Amino acid sequence: MNDLLSLENVHLKLGGREILHGISLALPPGEVLGILGPSGAGKSCAVRVALGLLKPTAGTVHVAGRLASRDGEVLLPPEERGLGVVFQDLALWPHLTSVEQVRLVGRSVGLNVAGAIALLESVGLRSMTSRRPSQLSGGEQQRLAIARALASKPTILLLDEPFSSVDRETRQSLYSLIRAISPQISGPTIYVTHNAEDAQSLAEHGVRLSRGVLVADDRPWEDSGT
């Protein structure tokens, strides 16, 4: 199996409501994929199933050829999936400095303080190493979340609507950052968004998710009204 991440016929029910309706997706190394769809389409739930944070009601998830989830079971825990993720709310730890956040995540791969500082420098935060999230601007918080996601040296990078709370100018600078770091990821980079401009700026290929149904469409943003 050459695909590093694959979901096959994945269904998800939450609170008695079916959120995902048999979605299938296979991502080879180097893919930069956009998943485009409106709020409530099930995009974040699909990401959480891939991460192992949600159990699929039915279907399978494979990561690097290993069966990771199957029919209501999580067989491979999130920390063993080699996934780096930036969530919409960023989920930064408010009590930790920038360098502490990066080093904590990178501890499993032996990242030391110098390595954490170098990683922060690569996302433009060299002078912000001792600052906590409350002392950073919105764009700086986004950059910290990206550095933290990269700290564990993931093979797959998932970005779940990370730019929804920043202004257009900041988004443009973050587009450049994502384009610069994507080649550092050996596996696919997945960008989940409701914003067609985001998808078009960052993704090489795309699919549309609508009411829990995944629609194959190489460039869905070209006819998107979102």
User: Do 97 and 144 fall within a single domain?
Assistant: yes
User: Is the confidence at residue 225, as pLDDT, over 70?
Assistant: no
User: Do 125 and 105 fall within a single domain?
Assistant: yes
H-helix or E-strand containing 164? Answer: none
User: Do 149 and 159 fall within a single domain?
Assistant: no
What is the CATH number for 55?
3.40.50.300
Between the alpha carbon of residue 186 and those of residues 29, 124, 133, 153, the distances in Å are 6, 22, 29, 9
Between the alpha carbon of residue 134 and those of residues 92, 130, 141, 144, 151, the distances in Å are 10, 12, 9, 12, 21
pLDDT at residue 108 in the model: 85
User: Do 4 and 72 fall within a single domain?
Assistant: yes
- Give the pLDDT band (50/70/90) at residue 222: low
User: Do 170 and 205 fall within a single domain?
Assistant: yes
What amino acid occupies position 7? L
- Helix (H, G, I), strand (E, B), or coil: what is residue 152? coil
Q: Pairing state of beta strands 213-216 and 205-210?
A: antiparallel
State pLDDT tens for residues 168-207. 778 888 888 888 888 878 888 888 888 887 788 778 788 8
pLDDT at residue 8 in the model: 95
- The domain tally of the chain equals 2
Hey, how many other C-beta atoms are within 10 angstroms of the C-beta on 222?
A: 11
pLDDT at residue 220 in the model: 57
Torsion of CA 83, 84, 88, 89, to 10 degrees: 120
136, 153, 170 — which closes off a domain? 153
Joined tokens for residue 141: 């918080």
User: Do 167 and 71 fall within a single domain?
Assistant: yes
User: Do 75 and 159 fall within a single domain?
Assistant: yes
User: Do 74 and 176 fall within a single domain?
Assistant: yes
State pLDDT tens for residues 122-131. 999 999 999 9
- What average pLDDT score do residues 84-91 get? 87
Q: What is the value of pTM for the model shown?
A: 0.84
105, 125, 153 — which closes off a domain? 153
- What average pLDDT score do residues 17-30 get? 90
Provide the CA 114 distance to its chain's centre, in angstroms. 25
pLDDT at residue 174 in the model: 83
Provide the CA 128 distance to its chain's centre, in angstroms. 23
pLDDT mean across residues, the chain: 87
136 exposure class (CB count in 10 Å sphere: 0-12, 13-18, 19+): middle
User: Do 178 and 77 fall within a single domain?
Assistant: yes
User: Is the confidence at residue 216, as pLDDT, over 70?
Assistant: no
d(CA 203, CA 110): 31
137, 153, 169 — which closes off a domain? 153
pLDDT at residue 19 in the model: 95
Hey, how many other C-beta atoms are within 10 angstroms of the C-beta on 199?
A: 27
User: Do 75 and 164 fall within a single domain?
Assistant: yes
User: Do 36 and 106 fall within a single domain?
Assistant: no
User: Is the confidence at residue 57, as pLDDT, over 70?
Assistant: yes
Q: By the 8 A CB rule, do 193 and 46 touch?
A: no
Joined tokens for residue 75: 């067989």
Cα–Cα–Cα angle for 72, 74, 75, rounded to 5 degrees: 125
User: Is the confidence at residue 223, as pLDDT, over 60?
Assistant: no
Give the residue numbers spanning the domain of 115. 91-153
- Percent of the chain's residues with pLDDT above 90: 47
User: Do 76 and 162 fall within a single domain?
Assistant: yes
pLDDT at residue 217 in the model: 61
